[in-house]
Structure 1
Amino acid sequence: MTSSDARARFLENPYILDLFAGPGGLDVAAHMLDVPSLGIEWDKDACETRYKAGLPTWHADVSAVRRDRFHELPKDLNVLAGGPPCQTYSIAGGGAGRKALDEVKKLIRALVDERACEEKIDEQLAKLEASGGDSRTALVLEPLRYAIKALSCPNREGRPFDVIVLEQVPAVAELWKVYKEALEEGLPREGGGRVRYKVAKVATLHTEAFGVPQTRRRTILIARLAEHGAPPLPAPTHHSYKSLKPKHGGPDDENVVVSAVQAALPIEGAEVPLRPWVPMRDVLMATEERPDGRTSSFEIVSNYGSGGDPKKRGVRTDGQPSFTVTGKVSRNAVRRPDGSPHDPDRMTIPEAGILQTFPPNYPWEGGDKSQQVGNAVPPLFGMHVLAAALARPPAPEEKLRENWTWAADDKRAILRKEGCGDPYECGSTCPKPEDQSSPSTSSKSARPRTGASAKRSAK
C-alpha cells in the first residue's frame, strides 16, 4: 500500500473508540463531524444518558474490556480517544495521582521499552495503590495499553490505531509528554519491530478560545501513525479570557488576552480576526428559538472559594464566560445584579449542559446529573480537537444549538442489549451494581432494578 493509499483510508473512514466516554461529549463532537463512535463507560447513569441520546455504548470497565473482551471490539475501529478520570490529578482532587507521577512515568516506559506482561504491570499498579495511591490513577495508562493491545489482537490482524487523541487536566501534561516520547519512539510489535507515531506538541488549551462559554483548561495529545504525517493543534476561533475586569467582555476589553497556542501561530486554518469569547448571556438568555431561557440579567456565585478563602465566593456576570462547570455545578447560586435571588436560583442541568455546549435538549438521564455534566468533554471543544486530528474542517457551531433527536424506546432497548447484554437491565459483563451509580428512575423502557447502590460514580 502506498503512503497516498494509506492517507486516503485514514481520511475516508474514521471510527472512534471512546474510552471513559461519560455522557457523550466526544461522541456528540464526532456526530458533528459525521464520524461514528463507540463508547466504553463504567457509570450506569452516564450509560442511561447515552442510550437515550442514541449513542452506541458498552457498559463496562475499560480495564476489563482490555483484558477479556478486546477481541470483541469492531476490528475497523481506527481512532483511539480517551479522557481518563481526572480527580486524582486535578487541583480539586486529593492529588494521589500527582504524588505518583514518577511511578506512572516508569510504568509508561516499561510498557514501551520492555513490553512488560500485563500481569507484571498490574502487580506494580497494585503495589502503588497499596502504598496509599488511588485506584483511578492507573487508568491514565489504559489508552497506551489499548494501543499496544491492538498490535497483538488476532481480530485486528495487528492493525494499529491510525489516530490517538487524549485529553486531561493540565496536571497530567507531564504524563502526556512521556506518552509523546513513547509513541514517537514506537510501540513494540509481538514479532519485533515498532509502530511509530508523529505527535503534536502537548498543549494546554483554553476552551473559551474555541467558542465554549466557559473558562476551562484541558491538556491534549494528538498522534497519528507516522505514515499519515504530523497532526496540527486545533486552531483557536475566539479570544481567550482573563478575569481582570469582571463586568464586561469583548474584543477591545482588558479581559481579552491571546492564548499561548494562538501566540505560537502559525496554526493552519486559524480564523483571523478571532471572535470575542462567548458570554453566558449569549446561550442562556431567552430567545425566540429558546423561550425557556432566563429573561433578566443574572450573576453566578461559585460554590468554590476564591483566592484561598473558602468563604469568599467568586462571582461572574452574564456578560462573562461561566466558571468551569464541575460536578458541583448545581450548587452554584444564581442571583440578580442587585443580589436578590434569580428564578431559578440555581444552575439547572440543561443550563449546565448548554454551558458545556451540549444541545439544549440533550437527554440527561439517571442519577447525579451534575457529575455527568461536569465530567464531560465540551462537545464544541472536542469537535475542534477531533477535526484537527482527522484532518477535517470544523463543523458549524450552529449544529450544537439544534435539538438532539432522542432514541425511541425500541432503539434504546437495542442499544442497551448491545451495551449491557440485556435490553432491560445490566448483564454479566457490566460493572457490579454496588460499584455503580444509582439506577435510572426516569427510563420508561427500563424494568425496575434491585440491589443497586446509591453510591456515586468514582469517575
Structure 2
Amino acid sequence: MTSSDAAVSFPVKPHILDLFAGPGGLDVAAEMLDVRSLGIEWDKDACETRYAAGLRTWHADVSEVRRTRFEKLPSDLNVLAGGPPCQTYSVAGNGAGRKALEKVKELIHALVDGAGEQEVDDRLEEIGGDSRTALVLEPLRYAIKALGCPNRDGRPFDVIVLEQVPAVKALWDVYKKALEKGLPREDGTRVRYEVAEVKTLHTEAYGVPQTRRRTILIARLAGHGEPPLPAPTHHVFNPRKPEQGGPDDAQTALPVDGTPAPLRPWVAMGEVLASRKGPFEIVSNYGSGGDPKNRGVRTFRQPSFTVTGKVSRNAVRRHPNGEPLHPDRLTIAEAGNLQTFPPDYPWDGGDQSQQVGNAVPPLFGMHVLAAALGMPLPPEEKLREGWGRLDRNDSRYVELRTEGCEAPAGCGPDCPKPEGQTSSSTSSTSSRPRTGASAKRSAK
C-alpha cells in the first residue's frame, strides 16, 4: 500500500492543530492536501515567515495556551500534530539526558493514570534543568485537556500525528502504549487509540532531496482502524554505496521489499537546485567520523546532507576540482528547496537558516498526513508551484497578524518575550532552539 492507497478519509473534515508549528512544513503539506490548520508558534521570526506565507498562526507558548486559552481554540480542531523540542533527551554526554528521559516516561504514565495538571507541573519542577524537558509532554496534555473542554463538548482529537528525531523514539514508544491504554476522562472512562508501529523513516525515501531521519507516531481513535505508515516511493540513499538506488543504478527498476510498484531513484540535489550552473559539490559544516577537519562531501548527483540550522555554513564548490562557486554558500531559498518548500516560499524574520533547518520537509509531511488521514496524495508538482508573499498592507496579512499577535502590526502585549527573540527588522540572533514542524496557508 502506498500513501495514496490509504483507506477511507478520517476524519471527514480534518482541521489540524499544529503545536510547535515553526515557519512552514507540516502545514504547507496540509495546504497541498486542502486541509485547514492552525499553528501555535513561540518564535517571533518563524511567525514573521508564517504571516508572510498566509498561514493561520497564534504567536504564543504552547504551554501557556493549554493553561489559559485552550477554550478559545476553534472547537472543530480534530487532528493534533506536532514535533516538540528534543535537545534535552540526547543520550550523549554525562547522562543527564537519559535521566530526564526516564523521568518523562514516568510522567507519561502518570498523566494516563489521571495525574492532575498541578501534580505534573510540580514533578516537572523537581526534575529541573532545561525548560524544554516539559514540552514533549504537551501533545499528550492537549489530548487529555480536550476531553474535559466544554467548548468541545469533551470530544477527543480524532487523529494524532507526532514527529521527531530518532533520539525521541523511546518516548514515542511510551506514548503509543499510553494511547492504546486510553486517555482518562473525569468520569473514569477512557478514550483509546489505535497506533501504528513507531518507526524511523528516511525522508529521501519519499522524494526529498536530502538524507534526513524522522521518527513518526500516528494514532487514530479506536474503531477507525490502525493507521498505516506512509509507504516509501523512492530508494534510500546509502553513503557507503552512493550509486545504489540512484538514477544510474539499473537495479532501481526492480521491486523492493514486496512493494507492488518499483521504487523510484532517490532525488539528487542537482535536480532541485537548477540555478546552480554546472557540476557542484557541498562540503558539510559537520565533521565526518567525529573529526572536525574531515568534512563530508556530497556531489550534485547525490541527495544533500540533512538541512540543519547551520545550513548557511556549508560550502559550495565546483565539482570535481573544488573551486569556490558564487555564491559559495547555499542561499535560504536553495536550502528551502532542499527541504521541498515551494521555490518562492516567503522566508521572513531573522535567523532564517534556523527556521529552514527546523522545519519538516513539506513533501515528507504530505506522505505522513495522507497516511494518517486516509487521503490520496496530490501530485508532487504542486509543491513546485508558486506560493507568493502577502504584503504587510494586505488585508489578509493584517487579519492573520491581528489574530496571531492580537495587534495589526508588530507583537501584542501577550506575545512571548523571551530572551533572544528579535523583530524582523533587526539582525538575526539565536532564539530558543526548536525542532519540529511547520506551517499552513489558510487563506481559503
Q: In structure 2, what is the equivalent of residue 457 of structure 1?
A: 432
1:38 is paired with a residue whose SS is: strand
Query: In structure 2, do the counterparts of structure 1 residues 94 and 420 end up closer, same or farther at CA, with 3 Å as the change threshold?
Result: farther
243-252 vs 227-236, which moves further = 243-252
How big is each residue's C-alpha offset from its partner over 1:8-47, in whole Å with a ceiling of 9 and x where there is no partner?
Answer: 8934200000000000111100001000000000000000
In the aligned structure 2, how far is the partner of 1:271 from the partner of 1:400? Answer: 26
How big is each residue's C-alpha offset from its partner over 1:415-437, in whole Å with a ceiling of 9 and x where there is no partner?
Answer: 010001001021132112x4352
1:373 paired with 2:356, answer: yes
1:80 is paired with a residue whose SS is: strand
For the 8 Å contact 1:44–1:436, the answer to whether it is kept is: no
In the aligned structure 2, how far is the partner of 1:135 from the partner of 1:366? Answer: 24
1:103 Cα shift? 0.6
For the 8 Å contact 1:245–1:255, the answer to whether it is kept is: no
Q: In structure 2, what is the equivalent of residue 305 of structure 1?
A: 287
Question: Residue 403 of structure 1: which of 374, 380, 386 is its match?
Answer: 386
1:378 Cα shift? 0.4
Q: In structure 1, what is the equivalent of residue 307 of structure 2?
A: 325
Query: In structure 2, do the counterparts of structure 1 residues 8 and 402 end up closer, same or farther at CA, with 3 Å as the change threshold?
Result: closer
For the 8 Å contact 1:87–1:93, the answer to whether it is kept is: no
Q: In structure 1, what is the equivalent of residue 55 of structure 2?
A: 55
1:247 Cα shift? 6.7
For the 8 Å contact 1:199–1:231, the answer to whether it is kept is: yes
Q: How many residues align?
A: 425
Question: Residue 273 of structure 2: which of 279, 284, 289 is its match?
Answer: 284
1:205 paired with 2:201, answer: yes
For the 8 Å contact 1:46–1:365, the answer to whether it is kept is: yes
Q: In structure 2, what is the equivalent of residue 356 of structure 1?
A: 339
Q: In structure 1, what is the equivalent of residue 412 of structure 2?
A: 427
How big is each residue's C-alpha offset from its partner over 1:392-438, in whole Å with a ceiling of 9 and x where there is no partner?
Answer: 01111101111103224321111010001001021132112x43521
In the aligned structure 1, how far is the partner of 2:93 from the partner of 2:289? Answer: 17
1:387 paired with 2:370, answer: yes
Which ranges of structure 1 fall in alignment gaps of 5 or more residues?
1-6, 286-292, 443-451
For the 8 Å contact 1:15–1:35, the answer to whether it is kept is: yes
For the 8 Å contact 1:243–1:255, the answer to whether it is kept is: no
For the 8 Å contact 1:96–1:137, the answer to whether it is kept is: no
Q: In structure 2, what is the equivalent of residue 438 of structure 1?
A: 422
For the 8 Å contact 1:239–1:257, the answer to whether it is kept is: no
In the aligned structure 2, how far is the partner of 1:428 from the partner of 1:112? Answer: 35
Query: In structure 2, do the counterparts of structure 1 residues 95 and 239 end up closer, same or farther at CA, with 3 Å as the change threshold?
Result: farther
How big is each residue's C-alpha offset from its partner over 1:237-286, in whole Å with a ceiling of 9 and x where there is no partner?
Answer: 10011101447862564998999xx74x6xxxx6610100000011002x
In the aligned structure 1, how far is the partner of 2:39 from the partner of 2:31? Answer: 13
1:91 Cα shift? 7.3
1:46 paired with 2:46, answer: yes
Query: In structure 2, do the counterparts of structure 1 residues 363 and 91 end up closer, same or farther at CA, with 3 Å as the change threshold?
Result: farther
In the aligned structure 1, how far is the partner of 2:377 from the partner of 2:200? Answer: 19
Provide the TM-score with structure 1 as the length reference.
0.88
Query: In structure 2, do the counterparts of structure 1 residues 300 and 82 end up closer, same or farther at CA, with 3 Å as the change threshold?
Result: same
How big is each residue's C-alpha offset from its partner over 1:204-238, in whole Å with a ceiling of 9 and x where there is no partner?
Answer: 00000000000000000000001211100001110
1:51 Cα shift? 0.2
1:92 Cα shift? 8.7
Q: In structure 2, what is the equivalent of residue 88 of structure 1?
A: 88
Q: In structure 2, what is the equivalent of residue 448 of structure 1?
A: none
1:417 paired with 2:402, answer: yes
Question: Residue 186 of structure 2: which of 176, 184, 190 is its match?
Answer: 190
1:101 Cα shift? 1.1
Q: In structure 1, what is the equivalent of residue 105 of structure 2?
A: 105
Give 1:82's aligned amino acid: G
Q: In structure 2, what is the equivalent of residue 3 of structure 1?
A: none
For the 8 Å contact 2:238–2:244, the answer to whether it is kept is: no
For the 8 Å contact 2:88–2:100, the answer to whether it is kept is: no
How big is each residue's C-alpha offset from its partner over 1:313-337, in whole Å with a ceiling of 9 and x where there is no partner?
Answer: 0000000000000000000000011
Query: In structure 2, do the counterparts of structure 1 residues 24 and 376 end up closer, same or farther at CA, with 3 Å as the change threshold?
Result: same
For the 8 Å contact 1:42–1:436, the answer to whether it is kept is: no
Query: In structure 2, do the counterparts of structure 1 residues 307 and 257 end up closer, same or farther at CA, with 3 Å as the change threshold?
Result: farther
272-281 vs 401-410, which moves further = 401-410
Between 1 and 2, higher relative CO (CA 8 Å, sep ≥ 6) is seen in 2
For the 8 Å contact 1:162–1:225, the answer to whether it is kept is: yes
1:454 Cα shift? 4.3
Seq. identity, %: 71
1:315 paired with 2:297, answer: yes
1:90 Cα shift? 5.0
For the 8 Å contact 2:32–2:366, the answer to whether it is kept is: yes
For the 8 Å contact 1:49–1:364, the answer to whether it is kept is: yes
User: What is the root-mean-square deviation of aligned Cα atoms in Å?
Assistant: 2.4
In the aligned structure 1, how far is the partner of 2:188 from the partner of 2:8? Answer: 27
Give 1:194's aligned amino acid: R
1:99 Cα shift? 3.7
1:120 Cα shift? 1.1
Q: In structure 1, what is the equivalent of residue 438 of structure 2?
A: none
Query: In structure 2, do the counterparts of structure 1 residues 83 and 44 end up closer, same or farther at CA, with 3 Å as the change threshold?
Result: same
Which ranges of structure 2 fall in alignment gaps of 5 or more residues?
1-6, 435-444
1:150 is paired with a residue whose SS is: helix
For the 8 Å contact 2:17–2:37, the answer to whether it is kept is: yes
